[in-house]
Amino acid sequence: MKELVSMSTLEQTRAIRELTRSFEEKKRIRNKVLAFRSVKKSHEFTWFAELSENASLFFRRCGYTMRSARQALELWHGVMKEIGGKFGSSVLTYFMFLKWLLLFNIFSFVVNFSFITVPLLVYDPNITSSVHFRGLELLTGAGYFTHTVMYYGAYSNETLQHGVEYNLQLAYFFTIAVYMVLCGITLIFSMASSFKKNFVLVDPASTSAWQLLCSWDFSVTSEKTVTQRKNNLRVQLKESLSEKAQKELLTLPEKLKRFGIHLGSWLVSTALVVGCAVSIFFLCQYEGKLFSQWGPGAASLQQEAETLLVPFVVSLLNLVIPLFFSLFNKLEHYSNKRSQIYTLVIRNVFLRMSVLGVLCYYWMNEVSLRAPSQCWESMVGQALYRLVIFDFLFLMLGSFFGEFLRNVIGTKLHRRLGSPEFDVARNVLDLIYAQTLAWIGIYFSPLLPSIQILKFLILFYLKKVSLTQNCQPPRRTGRAAQMQTIFIFLLFFPFFVGAISIVGYTAWSLNPSQNCGPFRGLNQTFSVVEVWIDGLQSLPGSGWAVWIYENIIRSELFYFLVTLIILGITYVFYQLIQGRKELIGLLKQRIVNEGKDKSYLLDKLQNLHMSRPKKDTRQSKDGRNSHQPSLSGHSDAVRQALLARQQAEQEEATYSDGVSVPADISTSSALMQAMLARQKAERENEDYYQRAEDPPSSFSALSLAMEARQRAEGEMLQENYRKEHFYENPTTASSAVSQVMQARLRAEESSAVMQVMQARQQAEQEAGMQWTDVQLQNQAVSSSSAVAQALQARLRAEEESPASSVMMQVMQARQQAEQEAGMQWAHVQPQNPAAVGSSALIQAMLARQQAQNEYDDGY
């Protein structure tokens, strides 16, 4: 409550919201806090406070409005909900990914259009083509489009002079460079954050717990899907159980057979990929030969149509070969679903990579050298345009044949097949491939993103319709979030890096066309920067830019140093990770140990409760036991000590008689004291039995003792409870050590449990300290005059031997002792002795147990 009041309004709102209470309770708390605040404020009422309060309220309202507005603006909110509701979050991943890529392309289009195309159009608005529009251009991208702003060739290398200078060369270069760099950074950051979230924290061992505790998709709303999911989950569970049972039974020939199938399918798929790559390469060369036979001027319609051959074949291969891969995948036997998916993904990536690699090789090494008269960049741009368009067509065909026809066959002809599943992995790879084409093409055809935007928009609705009409939800739901991370990673690693290196290679090493495009007349595209810097040198006041260029961008030493630093940082982080892993292992072990201790103590406690009526035998048994296991290690000793303490407590509460423990508290550990106390208690016990000849009296004394003990325990519990609450306030009573521990744990983003455990341990430590207090107090009691009085009382009682009087006497003695104890408590408390090192563990255990009980009760 106090914490809440002292917080700022924003934090306070958040804290209240995070309470896991019912709404009404939250409201009550909030009102209380607000009331408290207004009372406080009335004391120190100033116009400034009011103003700031109003301002913060205003900003908060603004924040709410913004949040609402953002949600309203969010693209396809309803559609996404519908898909998630019917097919679950793993299929939703595909659509999220599609949306994400679409945003990339919109950004790229806006940037390119406004920084490259608009200036050109302003400068020279009437770029007209010599060829008439014939319709086929939509597919080929050639003909009419060749000399439009669509391609590299149409851009000018001049500097605009409308009031301000605008260098089109530089604009072209920097726009694309900045876009690529921004893409890279975005990818790296989203990859890193999603990796951190989805991989680092994930525990690979907990599959069945995960399946049951966290995999249920609450957003699924359709009845059919729910039953389907239930069935799927049941099948999965059964399979995983039988797999676990079966794993050991696999014989050597079976293993060999499986291995052989794996090897075979890898070989075949690699051969397929290589075959595809080689055939595409020869096809390209053949097409090149055809082109070189063309005369100058406009190509005929047939010639133009011939250019469609390569994209057609490439897209066809991209459609068909993955089907073979899926077939292999069905033949192979995988121990778990994940490795199956990963194998499929790897093979597909391999295929796409080699196809794209061959095409790029062909463009870079043959097209770029071929025709000095023609604009080779535009030709590459056209080729990419065709690929993009054909890829789109084949994606549509794919969803028609793969999903619609398959559904018709599955539901009408072969009932056994059923509706097809939506293959998230394959579809996402298609998207990645499409996006890579757009990235490569951005240098050659700056407006390609516009085509891409259209393509993705249509694809989104197409896939949505196809999904809802034809498909059933995937039978197995993998970890959707992890798959998403892998997709982002794939998008980055082979594909984006490949695209950027091709664009980079083009800019650094290839000769731009001499007659067209913004870089005509230069040896390399990059020399545009050199020319610019040369121009800058003559200008005053731009020395810093030249210096940066000379000393940073162009110096190898700089990059070397940067690389070294990054490597160093990586190494440090690696070491940190290793250390933390070790730490986590240790902490886990500790939790297990504590759990064992806890259960042991609970057992013990239960036994004590059960054996209460026959306590004397029990105690003597304990006494006998205590001598044997002291050899068997520390933990036994701890237990013994615990027992001892309990006994000692009992004894002390009942008799309070003359146990004069050495008052040398500071040196002897609590453990020792406990042991001592116990021995004394035992002795006392024996004493007592020897001396108390009258059985009824001893019995009643015992029952009194029990009562007293219970009361003492109750007090203790209360005390602990209070303490616990007190310690919840982290600023008041947390020791430096535990804070450091916590901070470290938080830094390493270890799990909630760890922190909770840590917090509990902290509480335990505190509790331990408090226990020490109690003990000290006990010591004090025992050495105080109360002891003497109690002794007297008891002696008297023994002399007078009748049962009733003994009871009375003991009662009196106890009361006195309690009073004394209360006084002593007051004395001891302010001293607050230092925590007694290792022995605090035992006490902490007890305290924790009690805390646990408290918690359970509270819950």
Partner 1 sequence: MGATASQLDKGMLSEYQELTYLTKQEILLAHKRFSELVPKEEIDRINCRIPMNLVLTLPELKSNPFNERICKVFSTSDSHDGSLNFDDFLDLLSAFSDSATLEIKSHYAFRIFDFDDDGTLGRHDLEKLVNCLTGGTDDTNLTPEEMRQLIDNILEESDIDKDGTVNLSEFQHVISRSPDFVSSFKIVL
Tell me which residues in 699-758 interact with partner 1 (CB under 8 A): 751-754, 756-757
The region of 128-136, 224-232, 365-373, 462-470 touching partner 1 under the rule CB under 8 A is 224-232
According to the binding rule CB under 8 A, does residue 216 interact with partner 1?
yes
For the bound state, the minimum distance from the C-beta of residue 57 to partner 1, rounded and expressed in Å, comes to 9
* Segment interacting with partner 1 (CB under 8 A) among 57-65, 509-517, 646-654, 662-670: 57-65
Which residue lies nearer to partner 1 by CB, 222 or 329? Answer: 222
Shortest gap between Cβ of 667 and partner 1 (angstroms)? 34
Q: Which stretch binds partner 1 (CB under 8 A): 202-210, 277-285, 383-391, 522-530?
A: 202-210
Of 26 and 337, which has the nearer Cβ to partner 1? Answer: 26
CB 122, min distance to partner 1, A? 42
8 forms part of the interface with partner 1 (CB under 8 A)? no
Closest to partner 1 by CB, 230 vs 683, is 230
Distances 782 to 223, 773, 830 between C-alpha atoms, Å:
71, 14, 19
1 contacts partner 1 (rule: CB under 8 A):
no
| Stretch of 25-33, 108-116, 453-461, 577-585 contacting partner 1, by CB under 8 A | 25-33
Q: Per rule CB under 8 A, is residue 221 in the interface with partner 1?
A: yes
| HSE value, Cβ hemisphere, 13 Å, CA-based, for 260 | 6
- Exactly one of 8, 22, 130, 831 binds partner 1 (CB under 8 A); that residue is 22
Does 215 sit near partner 1 (CB under 8 A)? yes
Distances (CA, A) of 342 to 336, 376, 490: 10, 38, 11
Task: Write down the least CB distance from residue 824 to partner 1, Å.
Answer: 37
Binding flag, residue 336, partner 1 (CB under 8 A): no
Stretch that binds partner 1, among 129-137, 201-209, 768-776, 791-799 (CB under 8 A): 201-209
- Rounded-to-integer distance, Cα 88 and Cα 98, Å: 16
Asked whether position 652 contacts partner 1 by CB under 8 A, the answer is: no
User: Which residue, 379, 387, 473, 640, is CA-closest to 86?
Assistant: 473
Phi-psi region of 732 (alpha: psi -120 to 50; beta: other; left: phi over 0): alpha
C-beta of 578: minimal distance to partner 1 in Å?
A: 20
Q: How far is the CB of 422 from partner 1 (least distance, A)?
A: 17
**Least spacing, CB of residue 810 vs partner 1, in Å:** 39
Return the number of the residue (57 or 305) whose C-beta is nearest partner 1. Answer: 57
Name residues contacting partner 1, limited to 58-77 (CB under 8 A).
Answer: 60-61, 64-65, 67-68, 71-72
Q: Hey, what are 460's tokens?
A: 């989104």
First to last CA, the chain: 20
Q: Please give the residues from 28 up to 47 whose contact with partner 1 meets the rule CB under 8 A.
A: 30
Token representation of residue 800: 């007078």
Q: Which residues between 579 and 598 bind partner 1 (CB under 8 A)?
A: 588, 591-592, 594-596, 598
H-only helix segments in 512-555: 527-538, 543-548
Among 121, 241, 263, 454, binds partner 1 (CB under 8 A): 241
> How far apart (Å, rounded) are the C-alpha atoms in residues 707 and 543?
91
Asked if 166 and 159 touch (Cβ cutoff 8 Å), the reply is yes
In angstroms, how far is CA 702 from the centroid of its own chain? Answer: 58
856 binds partner 1 (CB under 8 A): yes
Kindly state the smallest distance separating residue 234's Cβ from partner 1, in Å: 4
The reply to whether 405 sits near partner 1 by the rule CB under 8 A is: no
Q: Is the dihedral of CA 555, 560, 563, 565 positive or negative?
A: negative
Q: How far is CA 176 from CA 151, 157, 179, 330, 697, in A?
A: 14, 15, 5, 43, 99
**Minimum CB separation from partner 1 for residue 92, in Å?**
8
Identity of the amino acid at 277: A
Using CA atoms, how far apart are residues 135 and 356, in angstroms rounded to an integer? 28
| Integer angstrom CA distances of residue 32 from 27, 42, 758 | 9, 15, 31
**Residue 248 binds partner 1, judged by CB under 8 A:** no
The answer to whether residues 129 and 148 touch, using CB atoms and an 8 Å cutoff, is yes
Which residues, in sequence order, are bridge partners of residue 472? 421
Kindly determine how many residues on this chain lie close enough to bind partner 1 according to the rule CB under 8 A. Answer: 76
189 binds partner 1 (CB under 8 A): no
Distance (Å, rounded) from C-alpha 142 to C-alpha 131?
10
Q: Which stretch binds partner 1 (CB under 8 A): 23-31, 264-272, 294-302, 704-712?
A: 23-31
Range 595-634, binding partner 1 (CB under 8 A): 595-596, 598-599
Q: Output the six-digit token pair for 321.
A: 């070969």
Coil, helix or strand at residue 684 = helix
Report residue 285: phi and psi, to 5°: -65, -40
Coil, helix or strand at residue 801: coil
Q: Which is nearer to partner 1, 589 or 735 (CB)?
A: 589
Nearer to partner 1, 220 or 276 (CB): 220
**Nearer to partner 1 by C-beta: 352 or 479?**
479
521 near partner 1, judged by CB under 8 A:
no
DSSP letter, residue 299:
P
Please answer whether residues 422 and 474 qualify as being in contact, where contact means their C-beta atoms are separated by less than 8 angstroms. yes
- Give the per-residue contact string, 87-116, with partner 1 (x = CB under 8 A; - = no): -xx---------------------------
Does the protein bind partner 1 through residue 24 (CB under 8 A)?
yes
- Give CA torsion, residues 353, 355, 360, 366, to 10 deg: 150
Contacts with partner 1 in 476-495 (CB under 8 A)?
479-482
List the one residue from 20, 42, 128, 130 that touches partner 1 (CB under 8 A).
20
Q: Which residues pair with 165 in a beta bridge?
A: 161
**Is 56 one of the binding residues for partner 1 (CB under 8 A)?**
no
Strands of 300-373 (E only): list them.
none
Instruction: Out of 100, 210, 342, 489, name the contact with partner 1 by CB under 8 A.
Output: 210
Verify binding: residue 206, partner 1, rule CB under 8 A. yes
Alpha-carbon torsion 397, 398, 401, 404, what sign? negative
Report how far residue 331's alpha carbon sits from residue 325's, in angstroms, rounded to the nearest whole number: 10
Q: Name the 3-class secondary structure at 472.
A: strand
Q: What is the dihedral of CA 16, 22, 25, 31, to 10 degrees?
A: 50
Q: Which is nearer to partner 1, 214 or 631 (CB)?
A: 214
Residue with smaller CB distance to partner 1, 39 or 209:
209
Which lies closer to partner 1 via its Cβ, residue 228 or residue 419? 228
Measured from the CB atom, the residue of 233 and 371 that comes closer to partner 1 is: 233
Six-digit token pair at 743? 């901070």
H-type helices in 611-667, by residue range?
Answer: 615-627, 634-654
Helix, strand, or coil here: 162?
strand
Q: Is 524 in the site for partner 1 (CB under 8 A)?
A: no
Q: How far is the CB of 427 from partner 1 (least distance, A)?
A: 19
| Rounded distance between C-alpha atoms, residue 605 and residue 831, angstroms | 32
- CB of 73 or CB of 834, closer to partner 1: 73
Contacting residue, 227, 300, 365, 628, with partner 1 by CB under 8 A: 227
| Interaction between residue 428 and partner 1 (CB under 8 A) | no
Residue selected from 39, 51, 62, 209 as contacting partner 1 according to rule CB under 8 A = 209
Q: Which residues contact 360 (CB under 8 A, 6 or more apart)?
A: 440, 498, 502
The tokens of 210 are what?
């995960």
For partner 1, the closer of residues 20 and 666 by Cβ is 20
- Sequence letter at residue 637: A
Exactly one of 2, 23, 42, 292 binds partner 1 (CB under 8 A); which one? Answer: 23
* Pick 210 or 350: Cβ nearer partner 1: 210
